[in-house]
């Protein structure tokens, strides 16, 4: 797909805006970072040209002025809340992010465990951080939060939280996921700074919804689809409209929380006109970097369909609600979208119907669609991937890349020795066999060289995939959707 977003322009404008906010607050800004620091593939999918690691690269450019505080809820640690796209818990995600950020030369200040009420798992995580030399702090719930402003903005409220020593003009407060206490940590720090006679302020870095796009723009509707399980709703910012007569877009949680945040900030700083709207609080220049609106609209529409399939599969597995499915379906109806608008769906279903087995389809970078079906040796997705790289490498479809003589012993090893329940080779098994044969087979080596070209290609499966196949395909960068159908009648999936 053509680029519709100028990432360099975005980074330039966003950095410039952050520097202006630092100056606005007298040289000290606590910036709440929403979304993902790394691997923001949702943004990359709906804004073709967006660098999924653009946020961390922005911070890298500002590394001499910036330091990072992580927050994580004690309740999420106790419940072992998982980051769905990576399959790791929030506390482990914090450790992963600290490693990655530190290796880039960006300063990590500390970790704040929020909403602590004596959770044993949180104690264990704090001990682990201490043993590894990571500063960490505990924030307990504040009585009357968030409505008792007088108590919150007192020594018994924010004042009871430990003050985190910082030395840089920009302090980024981020988290492994929503509901981790980023806002409260920012405001607590601003309270302490001002109590100690220093000027400091707060702002919010959030990519979606994009405030200067129309409310029903597909990019903003794609954000609603992505957060369907949270029941987020985009809406016109009524405070901005009243203050400036300008229509901007925000979402319900920020709009609902704004009067409280404004009152807390006003009480802490003594400035009643500090912000007039939730849009004012935001630092978001993404809308100014869209250079091809038609391309962006098309990409966002495809993302909405992908989200619909994900919601269907989550509901089928008991992990999601019918409400989320219905919400995304309504969004699709608003844009006159159907599943038929996803090009890989019909060929996959047709292949399955004609063969009588599970099938998959991949759309190649130049547009053609190839399919694959399940066999006695390999899964439909494994077959489809092999057919796709043969097509990209210009290898005749009738030629066999990997001989059954090689594949059969691998399958026998998995079943007879390793006790695998799977009766076919998954994608990672087939790719491992492919890489071994590539050492002595020039044809296979050509096919291997084509694998990176599958990144960002669309793929559809006629049944839900086991986590192994799904994880491998996502690591390859394929944009996968599946029909909400189990691959077999087995209960264990």
Full-model pTM: 0.91
Mark 393-427 as b/e (b = at least 16 C-beta within 10 Å): bebeeeeebbeeeebeebbeebeeeeebeeebbbb
Q: What is the rounded distance in angstroms from the CA atom of residue 412 to the CA atom of residue 414?
A: 5
DSSP string, 213-234: S-TT-HHHHHHHHHTGGGT--E
The pLDDT value recorded for residue 84 is 66
The pLDDT value recorded for residue 66 is 97
The pLDDT value recorded for residue 273 is 76
Report all structural domains of the chain as residue ranges with CATH numbers, in order of start.
Answer: 7-215+248-289 (3.10.630.10), 355-482 (3.40.140.40)
The pLDDT value recorded for residue 131 is 97
The pLDDT value recorded for residue 492 is 61
Contact 91, 187 (CB under 8 A): no
Contact 28, 182 (CB under 8 A): no
| C-alpha closest to that of 141 among 168, 113, 169 | 113
Q: Which residues contact 483 (CB under 8 A, 6 or more apart)?
A: 309, 312, 349, 460, 461, 462, 463, 464
| C-alpha closest to that of 285 among 41, 456, 50 | 50
Q: What is the rounded distance in angstroms from the CA atom of residue 411 to the CA atom of residue 288?
A: 53
DSSP 26: T
The pLDDT value recorded for residue 135 is 98
Q: What is the rounded distance in angstroms from the CA atom of residue 437 to the CA atom of residue 432?
A: 9
- Report the alpha-carbon angle 73-38-450, nearest 5: 140
Q: What is the rounded distance in angstroms from the CA atom of residue 441 to the CA atom of residue 429?
A: 18
* Number of residues in the chain: 493
Q: What is the CA radius of gyration of the chain?
A: 25
The pLDDT value recorded for residue 179 is 87
Query: From first to last of its 493 residues, what are the pLDDT tens digits of the chain?
Result: 679 999 999 999 999 999 999 999 999 999 999 888 888 899 999 999 999 999 999 999 999 999 999 999 999 999 988 876 667 899 999 999 999 999 999 999 999 999 999 999 999 999 999 999 999 999 999 999 888 999 999 999 999 999 999 999 999 999 998 889 999 999 999 999 999 999 999 999 989 999 999 999 999 999 999 999 888 899 999 999 999 999 999 999 899 999 999 999 999 988 877 899 999 999 999 999 999 999 999 999 999 999 999 999 999 999 899 999 999 999 999 999 999 999 999 999 999 999 999 999 999 999 999 999 999 889 999 999 999 999 999 999 888 888 888 888 888 888 888 777 777 889 999 999 999 999 899 999 999 999 999 999 999 999 999 877 888 999 999 999 999 999 877 666 5
DSSP string, 366-433: TS-EEEEE--SSB-HHHHHHHHHHHHHHT--TTS-SS-HHHHHHHHHIIIIIS--S-SSB-HHHHHHH
Q: Which residues contact 481 (CB under 8 A, 6 or more apart)?
A: 305, 306, 309, 310, 342, 344, 345, 459, 460, 461
Contact 236, 248 (CB under 8 A): yes
For 301, the token pair is: 């529409």
């Amino acid at each position: 797909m053509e680029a519709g977003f100028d990432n360099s322009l975005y980074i330039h404008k966003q950095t410039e805006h952050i520097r202006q906010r630092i100056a606005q607050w007298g040289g000290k800004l606590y910036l709440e970072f929403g979304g993902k620091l790394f691997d923001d593939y949702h943004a990359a999918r709906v804004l073709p040209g967006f660098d999924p690691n653009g946020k961390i690269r922005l911070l890298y450019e500002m590394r001499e002025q910036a330091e990072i505080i992580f927050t994580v809820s004690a309740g999420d640690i106790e419940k072992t809340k998982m980051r769905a796209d990576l399959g790791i818990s929030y506390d482990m995600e914090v450790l992963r992010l600290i490693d990655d950020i530190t290796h880039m030369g960006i300063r990590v200040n500390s970790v704040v465990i929020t909403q602590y009420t004596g959770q044993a798992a949180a104690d264990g995580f704090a001990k682990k951080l201490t043993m590894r030399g990571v500063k960490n702090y505990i924030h307990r719930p504040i009585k009357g939060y968030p409505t008792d402003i007088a108590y919150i903005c007192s020594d018994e409220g924010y004042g009871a939280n430990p003050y985190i020593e910082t030395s840089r003009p920009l302090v980024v407060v981020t988290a492994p996921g929503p509901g981790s206490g980023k806002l409260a940590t920012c405001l607590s720090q601003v309270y302490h700074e001002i109590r100690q006679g220093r000027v400091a302020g707060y702002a919010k870095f959030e990519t979606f919804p994009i405030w200067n796009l129309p409310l029903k723009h597909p990019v903003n509707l794609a954000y609603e689809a992505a957060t369907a399980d949270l029941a987020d709703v985009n809406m016109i910012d009524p405070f901005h409209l009243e203050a400036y007569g300008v229509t901007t877009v925000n979402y319900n949680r920020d709009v609902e929380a704004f009067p409280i945040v404004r009152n807390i900030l006003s009480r802490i700083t003594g400035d009643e006109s500090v912000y007039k709207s939730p849009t004012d609080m935001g630092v978001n220049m993404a809308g100014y970097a869209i250079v091809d609106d038609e391309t962006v609209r098309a990409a966002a529409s495809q993302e909405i369909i992908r989200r619909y399939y994900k919601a269907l599969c989550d509901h089928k597995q008991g992990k999601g609600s019918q409400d989320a499915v219905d919400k995304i379906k309504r969004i699709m109806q608003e844009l006159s979208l159907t599943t038929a608008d996803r090009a890989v769906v019909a060929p996959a279903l047709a292949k399955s119907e004609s063969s009588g087995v599970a099938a998959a389809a991949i759309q190649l970078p130049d547009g053609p669609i190839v399919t694959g079906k399940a066999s006695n040796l390999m899964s439909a997705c494994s077959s489809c991937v092999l057919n796709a790289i043969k097509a990209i490498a210009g290898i005749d479809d009738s030629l066999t890349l990997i001989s059954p003589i090689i594949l059969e012993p691998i399958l026998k090893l998995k079943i007879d020795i390793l006790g695998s329940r799977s009766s076919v080779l998954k994608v990672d098994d087939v790719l491992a066999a492919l890489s071994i044969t590539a050492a002595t087979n020039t044809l296979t080596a050509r096919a291997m060289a084509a694998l990176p070209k599958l990144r960002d290609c669309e793929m559809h499966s006629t049944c839900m995939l086991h986590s192994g196949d799904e994880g491998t395909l996502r690591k390859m960068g394929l944009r996968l959707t599946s029909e909400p159908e189990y691959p077999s009648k087995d209960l264990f999936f």
